[in-house]
Amino acid sequence: MRDVELDIEPQRFVALVGPSGCGKSTTLSLIAGLDAPTAGTVSVRGRPVDGITDSAGFLFQRDALLPWKSVRDNVLLPLQLRGVRGSEANARAAEWIGRVGLRGFEASYPHQLSGGMRKRVSLAQTLVYDPQILLMDEPFSALDVQTRNLMEAELLGLWQGSGKTVIFVTHDLEEAIALADEVVVMTAGPARVKARYDVTLARPRDIENVRLDPRFTELYSKMWNDLRDEVLESYARANAAG
C-alpha cells in the first residue's frame, strides 16, 4: 500500500472494491488496530489508532468463531472480555442470537451449523457489544449465492437506522453497489484510491430487486470501467509473476 488517503464519514456504509491482493484487507486491519502502519497515520473518530480500536467490530472472511465454544458462549465472549457479566450479558446475548434467527441453537457448537448459520453467529458476536464501526472483510464471499443474498439483506436490516459506520471490503462490484452508500475503487498494488462513487439508490433497499433498477446498471457500468483496468493490470502482473 502507498499513498492511500481515505476519509470515511460516520454512519455511512462504504464499500471498498479492488483487485485481489490490493490491500483492501490491510486497510481494515489498520483501522482495527490489528496491524500498525509502517508509515503514515490512521485515525478513528479523530484519534490516532494506537492498539486495538475499541469502537470497532470485525467480521472476517474466514470462520472466526471459537470451535470449542457453543453459540451462546461465542456470543457472550466479547461481553465478558469487556466486563459485562451476569444477567445483563445473558440477556444481550440471547437477544442477539434471536435477532439473527438462531433461537434454539444456543447450545450448538459451530461445526454443527451450516456456513450461513455460522456467519449469523459471527454477526451476533460482533454486534452484541454495539461497536460504532463495523469492519467487514469479504464476509459473505464463502457462502453460496442464495445464502449470500439472504445475509446481505439481513445485514442491511440490522444496520439500517443503527447509526453505525460500515466499511465493507469486497471484490464483487454488484454486492458493493447493492449494499453501500459509497463505493471506493482501489488500484492494483501499490494500493491507492482510484475513484469514489456515491450510490444514490434509495433506502431502505430491497437486495433482490435493487439490481434490476436502471440506475444500478448505470452505476455498475461506470464503476466497472474503472475497476476493469485495475483487475486486468493485477491479472497481467500475476501471470507475469507466475
Partner 1 sequence: MRERTRPVNRWLVTATQVALAVAFLAGWELGVRAGKIDSFFFSSPSQIGATIGNWWHQGYIVKDVLITMWETVLGLIIGGIVGIVLGIVLASNRFLGAVFEPLLVLLNSIPRVTLVPLFILWFGFSLLSKVVSAVVLVLFVVFFATYAGIKDVDPTLVANVRVMGAKRMDVVRHVLVPSALTWIFASLRSAVGFALIGAVVAEYFGASAGVGYRIQYSEAQLNTSGVFGGLAILMVLVTFVDTFIRWVQRRVLVWKPVEL
For helices 86-99 and 71-81, the axis angle rounded to 10 degrees is 130
- Residue whose C-alpha is closest to residue 59's, from 145, 144, 154: 154
CB under 8 A: which stretch of 4-12, 73-81, 97-105, 187-195 binds partner 1?
73-81
Q: Which is nearer to partner 1, 89 or 177 (CB)?
A: 89
Q: Does residue 81 interact with partner 1 by CB under 8 A?
A: yes
Q: Which is nearer to partner 1, 22 or 56 (CB)?
A: 56
CB of 242 to partner 1, least distance (A): 25
CB of 166 to partner 1, least distance (A): 15
Window 53-72: residues binding partner 1 (CB under 8 A): 53-54, 56-58, 60, 62-70
Q: Does residue 220 interact with partner 1 by CB under 8 A?
A: no
Number of chain residues interacting with partner 1 (CB under 8 A)? 29
CB under 8 A: which stretch of 85-93, 109-117, 184-192, 234-242 binds partner 1?
109-117
Q: Pairing between strand 13-17 and 182-186?
A: parallel
**What is the DSSP code (8-state) at residue 38?**
S
CB of 63 to partner 1, least distance (A): 7
Q: Does residue 106 interact with partner 1 by CB under 8 A?
A: no
Q: Does residue 78 interact with partner 1 by CB under 8 A?
A: yes
Contact in structure between 163 and 103 (CB atoms under 8 Å): no
| End-to-end Cα separation, the chain, in angstroms | 21
Cell representation of residue 169:
471490503
Q: Does residue 47 interact with partner 1 by CB under 8 A?
A: no
- Which of 47, 111, 145, 221: binder of partner 1 (CB under 8 A)? 111
Distance CA 161, CA 157 (A): 9
Q: Does residue 145 interact with partner 1 by CB under 8 A?
A: no
- Residue whose C-alpha is closest to residue 121's, from 196, 183, 63: 63
Distance CA 218, CA 213 (A): 9
Q: Which is nearer to partner 1, 27 or 70 (CB)?
A: 70
Window 152-171: residues binding partner 1 (CB under 8 A): none
DSSP β-bridge partners for residue 167: 14, 135
CB under 8 A: which stretch of 14-22, 46-54, 92-100, 209-217 binds partner 1?
46-54
Q: Pairing between strand 56-59 and 133-137?
A: parallel
Q: Does residue 222 interact with partner 1 by CB under 8 A?
A: no
Long-range contacts, 144-152 (Cβ 8 Å, 24+): 144/115, 147/114, 147/115, 147/116, 147/119, 148/175, 149/207, 149/208, 150/116, 151/116, 151/119, 151/120, 151/123, 152/178, 152/179, 152/207
Residues forming contacts to partner 1 in the complex (CB under 8 A) are 29, 32, 34, 52-54, 56-58, 60, 62-70, 77-78, 81-82, 109-111, 125-126, 129
